Chain A
Amino acid sequence: MKRTKVWGFIILLSLIVFACSTSDDGGGTSEETDDNFNRSAMLINWADNIIIPAYTAFNADVAVMVQASSVFTETPSEANLQNLRNAWKDAYVSFQSVSMFEIGKAEELNFRNRLNVYPTDVTSIEENVSNNTYNFSLPSNIAIQGFPAIDYLINGLAGTDAEIVAFYNSESTATGYNGYLNELTNTVLELSTTVLNDWEGSYRSTFVAGTSSSATGSVDKLVNDFLYYYEKSLRAGKIGIPAGVFSVDPLPEKVEALYSKEIGKELLLAAITASQNFFNGKSFTSASEGESLKSYLDFLNTIKNGDDLSTLINNQFDISKTKAAELGNDLALQVTTDNSKMTETYDELQRNVILLKVDMLQALSINVDFVDADGD
């Protein structure tokens, strides 16, 4: 009799605890107290003040680029070409503020790769232009589209503007190049509209509601996406790879915006600033800061009296920007003339990888994306 009671108690207790553990539907923590960091507020700040405004601005800039592209292809002239270049540059710079948010629809569409794989595949582009057949949604066609492909078409076809414009005017080539250019810009617009619409539609609430601490929670996912972006696309893609850090010799042909020769540094600085702003939870449209990785770290620091990690990370962002500012506008030229400035910039960007990936992730107790194997 006594034992049955004990067993009953054990089973009851197990059930209660089990019930607790399985109800991870997120957002259910309504009685959030003051001593609990408000992740929901952080997600809302990310979505409403950073991600959606950034996509809105980007989408508007892309629309201007599409317009400029259609004006140019209707009346190819040097003035219209310059116009298109300006619009392309503006959209490319804006892209640096959304590139890191490869989550939801963007992840599904492979957004970053479809917009910005470089170096662009010139041989395939030329083939496609002459055959007039291409399907941008094929995974194998990732390197013939997006900003780098447009870069080639508006900056890289020839040495002078007059010669470039000639490609769009001459009877033998005009159809091919005009068509391809418009298809490129339209595809960028189509993709960015799809992502923006999804955020403005149902995805925002899904994202904000994902407050769970599991690997599928929004915080874990976006932080992992952010770090992946910072490490692979920003640090390695923009600086490390062209500087030859990962290869025997430098690879200047692998810089971003290779053909424009003017905006590489600006894109880099925009990307570092956007990363720092995301870290600080700074609103895209104003100077105000909301709940963010920075405030989360500061909150956790009050529990464990640790080092002031958020200041260290911000300082490192500042140092990286100062170093990057010393580069020339043409990063390929920078690699061939004085590569040490590139590798020094790489070193500073690298220091923040350690602070973000080792120290910040440990403090936040977020796992780097990996097989969800057991621990002990």
Chain B
Amino acid sequence: METYFNTYFSKETKTANLAVFRVFFGIMMFFSTLRFLSYGWVDKLYIQPKFFFSYYGFEWIKPLGVYTYALFIVCLISSFLIIIGYKYRYSIIVFFLCFTYIELMDKTTYLNHYYFVSCLSFLLLFLPANRRFSLDAYLDNSLNQEYIPKWNVDCIKVMLFIVYFYAGLAKLNSDWLLDAMPLKIWLPSNYDLPILGSLLQKEWVHYAFSWGGALYDLMIPFLLLYKPTRWFGFFMVVVFHVLTRILFPIGVFPFVMIVSALIFFDSDFHEKLIHKASKLLKLKPLNNSVVGQRSPRKIPLLIIGLFLLIQLLLPWRYLLYQNELFWTEEGYRFSWRVMLMEKAGYAQFKVVDSTSGKSFLIDNNDFLTSFQEKQMSTQPDFILQYAHYLADHFSENGAKNIEVYVESYVAINGRLSQPYVDPKVDLAKEKDSFAPKNWILNFNDDIKGL
């Protein structure tokens, strides 16, 4: 066993694989940041709102007013530097910190694919992705290196494997497989697509998409890993992600996944890409590649190993909670649960001054944007944080003993809406933590499966 590990860790692969990945990753990040800016989302999502929903433990991370734009500009510049591979080590560190800071500012905008980008850029912090096809290597030939340890590339493959496979596992539940939910709700609303539009109204199509989607997610990492099926696998990746791009508003994510899947190809493929790109850009090839012997770097290996272990375990934390995962969302995020449910809710908060006994209801639009309100009304940690905010807000006007109650309803995957939070619980007194939230009412149904 030990010798197996030793031989594995001494295996090498071409640097080209990682260099190509770096360039594509940088391009994707550059354009997605540009897109974000051009849609005016910085203002709408991070400057307009009066209040922001923090992640537990990251309450100190807040948008910076107009300077929030600076964060995005820094992201833009650093992703450009990643593309050209200039001062790579610094630019990837800056990018990782900046991007992750942006994601932590308000969990309203949480998306699995933003988390995926943070994970990838974290991995890239420790990888020598600038040793080929980069300005760094051009300026300093001693950096230029033809081979790197194989695990440098494999760790990205493991990350992708986890994303796909876990997304597939999450689909193995009765709503997805037996009721074709939520696709049965989502697909018919694409009635205006040519050809597909009328097909998407048919029940068998909903089932085909549900089963096909689950099968795809579970199979694709294997198809990509196994050489004879690799091209077929990649073809499926393209078809699948282009289709999801058409059917659902998921931004740049499909393209990120498509280019990421290129990492599975062999070195000669990447060498060819670099060769062609160099010709196209009229770049002089660097001949004096050092077939470098570097000191073995244990620390990056340890950090990445630990990180991937956490990635493997984290999605299972929901098992520690008794309640229905879809209902309470305890342990839902950061687990590659993608497009799994259609959840809608309504939360009507009541503020009570227990000294005077007077009470009034809250118009959520006074404090939240409609996007924030939508996210808040179906997720208990949002509801609690908002309740605390309301308690603080109304305590400022001199009133003490403020109690906050909520009457809320949530509908999941086509079920009729049900009462969500216990309306008799004073949320101002409840503390947020990772402990089960016993003020969430029971889900009057059963979703079986993983």
Q: Could you tell me if A20 and B195 are in contact, using CB atoms closer than 8 angstroms?
A: yes
The stretch from A50-58, A110-118, A361-369 touching chain B is A361-369
Most buried by A among B202, B249, B353, B359: B249
Whole-angstrom CA separation of A21 from B353 in the bound complex: 53
Q: Please name all residues of chain B whose beta carbon is closer than 8 Å to the beta carbon of A240 when the two chains form the complex.
A: 361
Interface assignment of B296: CB less than 8 Å from any CB of chain A = no
Could you tell me if B360 and A303 are in contact, using CB atoms closer than 8 angstroms? no
Contact residues, A262-301 vs B (CB, 8 A): 300
Which of A21, A31, A354 has a CB less than 8 Å from the CB of B193?
A21
Given A14-B238, A28-B194, answer yes or no on A246-B362 (Cβ-Cβ < 8 Å): yes
Residues of B within 8 A of A374 (CB): 111, 113, 249-253
Chain B nearest CB: distance from A175 CB in Å? 42
B44, B112, B189, B250, most chain A CB atoms within 10 A = B189
A72 CB to nearest B CB, Å = 39
Contact B371 A36 (CB under 8 A): no
Q: Cβ of A249 and Cβ of B358 under 8 Å apart?
A: yes
Contacts of A361 in B (CB 8 A): 344
Q: Which residue of A is nearest B359, CB measured?
A: A248
Q: Which residues in window 312-354 of A have CB below 8 A to B?
A: 312, 350, 353-354
Assess the A370–B414 pair: CB atoms within 8 A.
no
Contact B416 A17 (CB under 8 A): no
- B447 at the binding interface (Cβ < 8 Å): no
User: Roughly how many angstroms separate A373 CA and B245 CA in the complex, as a whole number?
Assistant: 14
Digitize B350-370: 1 where CB-to-A-CB distance is under 8 Å, 0 elsewhere. Answer: 000100001111110000011
B414 touches A306 (CB 8 A): yes
Check A18/B198 contact, CB under 8 A, given A10-B235, A39-B191. no
The verdict on A371 contacting chain B, using a C-beta distance below 8 Å, is yes
Contact of B196 among A9, A20, A353, A354 (CB under 8 A): A20
Contacting pair B192 A371 (CB below 8 A)? no
Would you call A245 an interface residue if the criterion is a C-beta within 8 Å of the partner chain's C-beta atoms?
yes
Instruction: Say whether, besides A371-B44, A373-B41, A376-B250, A358 and B417 are in contact (CB < 8 Å).
Output: yes
* A21 lies within 8 A of B245 (CB): yes
Whether A163 is near chain B, meaning CB under 8 Å from some CB there, is no
B144-167 CB contacts (< 8 Å) to partner A = none
Residue numbers in B under 8 Å from A33 (CB-CB): 198, 201
B370 touches A373 (CB 8 A): no
**Which residues of chain A are within 8 angstroms of B39 by Cβ–Cβ distance?**
372
A1-35 interface (Cβ within 8 A of B): 3, 6, 9-10, 13-14, 17-18, 20-21, 23-24, 26, 28-29, 31-33, 35
Interface of B is mostly: mixed
Beta-carbon contact of A35 and B202 below 8 Å: yes
Distance (Å) between the CB of B305 and the closest chain A CB?
A: 28
Q: List residues of chain A with CB within 8 A of the CB of B213.
A: none
Smallest distance from the beta carbon of A245 to chain B beta carbons, Å? 5
Report B-chain residues with C-beta under 8 Å of the C-beta of A135. none
Contact of B417 (CB < 8 Å), options: A18, A212, A359, A375: A359
Interface size of B as a range: 35 or more
Question: Given contacts A36-B197, A376-B253, are A362 and B245 in contact (CB under 8 A)?
Answer: no
Interface Cβ pair total, 8 Å cutoff: 157
Q: Answer whether residue B303 sits at the interface, using C-beta atoms and an 8 A cutoff.
A: no
Cβ of B190 under 8 Å from chain A: yes
Contact present for B198 and A29 (CB under 8 Å): yes
B334 touches A (CB below 8 Å)? no
Closest to A366 in B: B189
Does the CB pair A23–B360 fall under 8 Å?
A: no
Give the residues from 368 to 402 in chain B that come closer than 8 angstroms, CB to CB, to chain A.
Answer: 369-371, 374
If A36-B191, A362-B342, A369-B370 touch, does A355 touch B197 (CB 8 Å cutoff)?
no
Q: Are A354's CB and B203's CB within 8 A?
A: no
Whole-angstrom CA separation of A213 from B193 in the bound complex: 9
A112 to chain B, nearest CB (A): 16
A376 touches B191 (CB 8 A): no
- Whether a CB of chain B sits under 8 angstroms from the CB of A178 is no
**A203 at interface, CB cutoff 8 A:** no
Asked whether B45 is an interface residue with its Cβ less than 8 Å from the other chain, the reply is yes
Task: Determine the distance from Cα of A247 to Cα of B358 in the docked complex, in whole angstroms.
Answer: 9
Residue A211 CB within 8 A of the other chain:
yes
Q: Does B331 contact A (CB under 8 A)?
A: no
Given A35-B201, A248-B360, A370-B374, also A355-B112 (CB < 8 A): no
When distances are taken between beta carbons in the complex, the residues of chain A under 8 Å from B252 are: 374
Taking CB atoms, residues of chain A closer than 8 Å to B371 are 370-371, 373
Given A14-B238, A17-B242, A213-B190, also A247-B414 (CB < 8 A): no
A240–B348 Cα gap in the complex (Å)? 13
Partner of B188, one of A21, A31, A303, A362: A303
Minimal beta-carbon separation of A264 from chain B (angstroms): 21
Whole-angstrom CA separation of A300 from B184 in the bound complex:
9
Nearest-neighbor residue (CB-CB) of A39 within chain B: B191
Q: Are B192 and A211 in contact (CB under 8 A)?
A: yes
Which residue of chain B is the closest to A249 with respect to CB atoms? B358
B370 adjacent to A370 (CB under 8 Å): yes
Please give the distance in Å from B378's CB to the nearest CB on chain A: 9
- Shortest beta-carbon distance from A232 to chain B in Å: 8
**Is A246 in contact with B346, judged by CB distance below 8 angstroms?**
no
Contact among A3, A217, A368, A376 for B339, CB-based, below 8 A: A376
Residues of chain A contacted by B370 (CB below 8 angstroms): 368-371
Q: Which A residues are CB-close (under 8 A) to B253? A: 374, 376
> 1/0 per position for A207-227, CB-CB distance to B under 8 A?
000011100010000000000
The answer on a CB contact under 8 Å between A353 and B346 is yes
A13:B109 contact, CB within 8 angstroms: no
Bound-complex Cα distance A366 to B374 (A): 13
Closest to A244 in B: B360
A216 CB to nearest chain B CB (Å): 12
Chain B 406-425: CB-based contact to A (< 8 A → 1; otherwise 0): 00011100111100000000
Known contacts A17-B243, A369-B370: does B198 contact A23 (CB below 8 Å)?
Answer: no
**Residues in A neighbouring B358, C-beta threshold 8 A:** 248-249
Q: Look across to chain A and name the residue whose beta carbon is closest to the beta carbon of B197.
A: A29
Whether B191 contacts A365 by the Cβ 8 Å rule is no
Which single residue of chain A is at the shortest CB-CB distance from B351? A248
B179-193 interface code vs A (CB 8 A; 1 in, 0 out): 101001110111111
Given contacts A307-B416, A368-B374, 17 further A-B contacts (CB under 8 A): A24-B192, A29-B194, A36-B201, A39-B191, A357-B346, A358-B344, A358-B345, A358-B409, A365-B185, A365-B188, A369-B370, A373-B41, A374-B111, A374-B253, A375-B249, A376-B112, A376-B338
Q: List 13 A-B contacts (CB under 8 A).
A: A20-B195, A24-B192, A29-B198, A236-B363, A248-B360, A249-B358, A303-B188, A353-B346, A358-B345, A363-B185, A370-B374, A374-B253, A376-B339
Interface residues, chain A, with chain B CB atoms under 8 Å away: 3, 6, 9-10, 13-14, 17-18, 20-21, 23-24, 26, 28-29, 31-33, 35-37, 39, 211-213, 217, 236, 240, 244-249, 300, 303-304, 306-307, 309, 312, 350, 353-355, 357-359, 361-366, 368-376
For the complex of A and B, the 9 pairs showing the least CB-CB separation, nearest first, are A374-B251, A365-B189, A370-B371, A21-B246, A376-B111, A370-B370, A362-B344, A358-B417, A307-B416
